Chains A and B, each alone.
Chain A
Amino acid sequence: MPKLKISRRQMLRGVLGGAAVAVALPPLEAMFNANASAYANGDDLPCRFLTWFFGNGVHLERFEPAEVGPTWSLSEQLAPLANVKDYLSVITGMTNRCEELITHHEGMTAFSGHTMSQVAEDELFSKAGGPTIDQLVADVIGAQSPVKSIQIGISKRPSVMDGGTTLYALSHRGPEQPLYPETNPQKVWQTLFGNFVPRPDDAALRQSILDAVSEDARTLRSQLGVKDRLRLDAHLDSVAALQQKIAAAPPACDIPGIPTETNTDVQGQEPLIAVNDAMNALLAYAFSCDITRVGSVMFMAGAGETVFSDLGQVTSHHDNTHDYPFALPKVHDAVIYTMQRFAALLELLRNTQEIDGTNLLDSTIVYCSSDCSEGWSHSIERQPVILAGHGRNKLVHPGIHYQAAPPPGSAGNLSDVLLTVLKAFDPSATAIGSGAPRSDTPLIGITGPAW
């Protein structure tokens, strides 16, 4: 990655003195207040948020750490995360209180606190029940960076048996607003950096065109019914976001070169490691340059048909979880492999320094879970969550193993973790979700001194 280069001209356009223009500049010493705890103009130092997802669950007896509390040690399936262990909190034994059970779909309630909606009687179909946590956080902090949030996918093999939107996107703004993951690193690059590639300065023309587009959307909207008005509202929001992006000054960082990786299969095999690495690099760079502060990574889709060919496997992960117990070793190997990919992201964030002496994992919170606790039973009891990073001491650091109840049962409400994370970005939040999975009780035990 090229080093951050800051030109004199760009320094002069900085946030000193509270300039109105949104600028993506890495912080310089002079910009901090006396304690280096905030920008000179009072803005908080950026915190970032990521969700991370893999389908088909884990094997609880090899995943859950044995010891509870601060003196916990890594289990077999968490061992790949050894290099970032201090940054991890693991939450086990909690109940996902989703009100509908159709297999896999209900696991996604762990990312929103809502039961899925439009569950069909006659097919494995549902839509998201409400906005996911990353979009709630993006609504709070997204306006502070040119890109409100980014949706990334690694494996391109979704479920072959399910319908709707719940399992196919990790980010949702609502039942009719899935934000599908982008699995091509070049397109992710385009979303993050493409707008800053120098071009003839036609910003004013683009803006007036988008103004006209918005006017057309409002005219059309006025003729429509309730459902379609929501779609035109989403269209208007997206146009406004693009207009803000066009108005944003280019970042002080060098624009990274477009990645060569396109996530194209070789003899039917997905280049999972290369794509994961490329996406991680884009995320770390985007965080450093403050291009975005929120993202979601769908490593594999819900009930996904990913084949772990790097492990010599030829059957899909979902199939393996239903070849119980004979394919258990393959499932275990795949969980280890998945945790290795997760570790690669966390290690890169940890290894990316910022000028205030923190690293990106210090200033980020990552929320990781699956679509069930174990794939063969589809159970959502004891559905585990891994939290990584502490978001500038909003979460306890070093992390702990929080166990709501010892095996085999489960207790509590998994959405408590979601609320805790939401409040790390929006202290005024009092509840998250709806219905049985709704929570208004954050999990104090995992919070840090700054929460």
Chain B
Amino acid sequence: MAACGASDSSGEVETGGAEPEPELVPAPGGVRRLLGRQYIATIDQMLGPAAAAAAEPPRDFPLHDFDAIGAAELSLSDTDIEQYELSAFAVAKAAVQDRAALAQLAPCVAESAPDDACYTQVAQRVGHMAFRRPLEAAELARLAKIGVDARVWGDDDFATGLEYELVAILQSPHFLYVAELGETVQPEGAEPVPYRVLRPNERLTRMSLFFQGRTPSLADLEDVERDGLDDAQAEALAWEMVNAPVARTNLSYFFDELYRLREVAGVAKDTSSFPEFSVQLGETMRAETLRMIATVIWEQDDDALAILDAPFGFVNDELAAVYGVPAPGSQSLVRVDYPPEQGRAGVLGQAAFLSRHAHPAKTSPTRRGLFIQTKVLCFDVPPPPPGVDTSIPEDDGEPKTLREKLQVHMENPDCRACHSLMDPLGFGLEHYDPIGRYRTHEPNGLPIDAQTEVTGLGTYGDAAGLGSLLRDHPLVSNCMVRNIVRNGLGHIESEGEEATLDYLDETWVANGRNMRELLVHIATSQLFSRVGEPK
């Protein structure tokens, strides 16, 4: 039985895809834990900014580079459960002290002398928003009783009752775990279908997390519970959500994780060779890449993959020195065009990526190449065989460039198969040192030869050349779609999803690779309306 109002027609997409959407065999459904930032953002909307500021959820741990996958697969620990209790108390105290947001949901809390019926109202309204569904009578009664018991314990203080009631709601698994279970569909007289259909509130929640980084407002939940959420409604909603300011913030978290920008500030650098590298500089590098990406995607609002060869960046005085451009006289970021002779462009030409994927004192063509293969091209590279000596040969008297030393990877048959996939890619970036600074020579004085040819990609000698080759490579757009879906749904793609992912990519490319359109198309595809049996 399909949920009231839900439809699952696969039809042609208005944005001009020539093919109909393939039939999706979705990944398993189940529960996904709210990420820390989603927990906080949800509390912000539910209970206000003071409550959100007090929130302290446990840490997230990524799998396959995405926090969302960790949150979908891993269990919580004893300390996590304790941390949720601590956080719940801190949030509840703040929410009771400053009740403006709470009163929007449950007006009785703002009255001068609320009675016990108010606890029931809070359970109904806050509970509904927190659990993303109306509560059953028994649940309402249980929460209201906690409020009453706490009031009595607290010397008849209504606020105390309110506090403990909120503590109970905030610790419930119905709040912390997002259920994506769907309902079975039984087409009349036909074969059973290999998927379930997400209920309207589940579909809405999936969209809300995807665009807004939080669970839905109570108003939106009530709307879909009343009217359903069919494909046309979902599309209208998706456009509304993608065009809201919070969508920009939320998408930046995706790029933060994809390009490992959170790790830049903590990477070890040889401070005798690079005294300027610091935690602060690393954070600035991270901010620059996020700012460039946001500018390309939201302000230029055209081809999203221009993030791979955009010839501009953002610097403050500290970062300007790394790029050898004039200091802007500012601690905050100012837009700058990179000097053309540096051939610097795009994410892979910016200091954040170059620093994160280098050793403390040396560059690493292998690491940079490995990232491009696995994260930009989504091409798997097997790990090194165990027992192999992975040291780079040192100078044997005759000075060599790093590239020359790495030729041993190509000469050794044990190494060649995989390293030929990585090293040539990274050689093209050898003009950028371990903190991303442009250089024509290595520290030993030898001139750098960064001209490289990569089978299936082309020839280049700098980041701009690499970026423009990648931008139009069919694997790159496909890989971007995959990464967005991995992060958005919390799993690595399964066999049954391949056709849909390829379809989304083909449509995206055919229509100019606009990010807003892609995000809407993903959110209105069967990826967001279907789910497999619970895992």
Contact = CB atoms under 8 A, between A and B. Distances in A.
B393 to A, nearest CB: 10
Contacts of A289: none
Interface in A184-227: 187, 190-191, 194-195, 202, 204-206, 208-210, 212-213, 215-217, 220, 223-227
Interface in A22-80: none
Contacts of A220: 31, 173-174, 177, 179
A230 B75 CA distance: 8
Nearest to A124: B383
Interface in B23-81: 28, 30-31, 59, 61, 63-65, 73-81
Given A102-B386, A217-B173, A235-B75, A121 B380 contact: yes
A305 B268 contact: yes
A397 to B, nearest CB: 33
Given A160-B263, A235-B75, A315-B359, A122 B381 contact: yes
Contacts of B173: 213, 216-217, 220, 232, 235
A260 interface: no
Given A242-B81, A378-B386, A231 B76 contact: yes
B534 A238 contact: no
A336 to B, nearest CB: 20
Contact of B181 (A208, A223, A324): A223
Contact of A268 (B150, B167, B271, B533): B271
B81 A101 contact: no
A272 to B, nearest CB: 13
Interface in B378-412: 380-384, 386-387, 389-392, 394
Given A205-B149, A228-B30, A326-B394, A223 B534 contact: yes
B85 interface: yes
B261 interface: no
Interface in B238-290: 263, 266-272, 277-279
Nearest to A381: B387
B81 to A, nearest CB: 4
A376 interface: yes
Counting chain B CB atoms within 10 Å of each CB, the highest count among A216, A234, A315 belongs to A216
Contact of B171 (A213, A223, A322): A213
Counting chain B CB atoms within 10 Å of each CB, the highest count among A161, A202, A305 belongs to A202
A238 B80 contact: yes
B451 interface: no
Contact of B78 (A148, A161, A216): A148
B391 A178 contact: no
Counting chain B CB atoms within 10 Å of each CB, the highest count among A123, A173, A228 belongs to A228
B186 interface: no
A411 interface: no
B61 A180 contact: yes
B472 interface: no
B518 interface: no
Interface in B450-499: none
Given A179-B77, A228-B535, A234-B76, A324 B174 contact: no
A176 interface: yes
A386 interface: no
A314 B149 contact: no
B172 A213 contact: yes
B79 A191 contact: yes
Contacts of B263: 160
Nearest to A206: B85
Interface residues of B, number: 68
Contact of A228 (B172, B278, B279, B534): B534
Contacts of A191: 79, 82
A271 interface: no
Contacts of B77: 151, 177-180, 234, 238
Given A177-B77, A212-B146, A202 B153 contact: yes
B533 A231 contact: no
Nearest to A318: B268
A377 B78 contact: no
A165 interface: yes
B272 A225 contact: no
A216 B75 contact: no
B241 to A, nearest CB: 27
B79 A182 contact: yes
Interface string B415-453: 000000000000000000000000000000000000000
A208 B394 CA distance: 65
Q: Determine the interface band of chain A, counting residues with CB < 8 A from chain B.
A: 35 or more
Nearest to B533: A225
Contact of A227 (B86, B387, B535): B535
Given A191-B79, A234-B76, A121 B268 contact: no
A205 B164 contact: yes
Contacts of A210: 85, 171
Given A163-B63, A228-B535, A242-B82, A205 B31 contact: no
B374 interface: yes
Contacts of B271: 268, 314
Given A164-B63, A231-B76, A212 B360 contact: no
A123 B374 contact: yes
Contact of B172 (A160, A212, A323): A212
A324 B374 CA distance: 27
A293 to B, nearest CB: 15
Given A124-B383, A209-B146, A227-B535, A157 B76 contact: no
A182 B61 CA distance: 13
Interface string A233-272: 0110111011001000000000000000000010110000
A376 B382 contact: no
A359 interface: no
A176 B278 contact: no
A319 interface: yes
Contact of A314 (B28, B270, B394): B270
A301 to B, nearest CB: 12
B534 A168 contact: no
Contact of B389 (A160, A180, A376): A376
A314 B360 contact: yes
A125 interface: yes
B361 A314 contact: yes
Nearest to A224: B534
A434 interface: no
A290 B436 CA distance: 52
Nearest to B65: A163
Interface in B145-191: 146, 149-150, 153, 164, 167-168, 171-174, 177, 179, 181
Contacts of A275: none
Contacts of B272: 314
A165 B387 CA distance: 22
A103 interface: yes
A101 B272 CA distance: 36
Given A265-B279, A315-B359, A163 B164 contact: no
B270 A315 contact: yes
A205 B74 contact: no
Contacts of A230: 75
A174 B73 CA distance: 12
Given A157-B268, A179-B78, 5 more contacts: A122-B382, A212-B168, A220-B177, A232-B173, A376-B390
The 10 closest A-B pairs by CB, nearest first: A122-B380, A101-B386, A225-B534, A234-B75, A238-B81, A314-B270, A324-B391, A177-B75, A228-B30, A209-B168
9 contacts: A103-B384, A177-B74, A177-B75, A179-B79, A212-B168, A216-B173, A217-B173, A235-B76, A376-B389
